[in-house]
Amino acid sequence: MSLLESYVEGLREGDAEKIGSVFSDDALFHDDAPRTVGMDPIILRGRAAIVENFAKLTAGGGLTIDNVAFNENSMRYDIVMSPEMSICCLGVYKEEGGKIAEYFVTAVS
């Protein structure tokens, strides 16, 4: 299973530890997609911060992730906020030592 496949599986399961397991200890996580729904971007440094963030985000259960397509170090996916609203995202990562060292997400139309 690829790093991104494990990441998506963790998102769907609401498993913050699984999500964090794909990131290096000092990884940079930068998600600009929340801006599309009027929220601040999510910028985190380090696996511990990533796990903490996703533990809060998925406290009520996993996220609905649809239309996932992988392409080497990137993926395109939809985060479904409600039946009427979803955010189409593009995530790209840089790998070091078998883990994600930098991960950048942006919303696409």
Please report, for the domain that includes residue 29, its CATH number.
Answer: 3.10.450.50
pLDDT at res. 103: 98
Q: What's the Cα-to-Cα distance from 91 to each of 59, 66, 86, 105, rounded to whole Å?
A: 23, 14, 15, 4
| Residues forming a β-bridge with 45 | 28
Residues of the chain with pLDDT under 50: none
Number of domains in the chain: 1
Single-letter code of the amino acid located at 101? A
pLDDT at res. 42: 95
pLDDT per position as a tens digit, 77-98: 999 988 888 899 999 999 999 9
pLDDT at res. 61: 87
pLDDT at res. 55: 96
- Structural domain range at position 102: 3-107
Distance in angstroms (rounded) separating the CA atoms of residues 46 and 27: 5
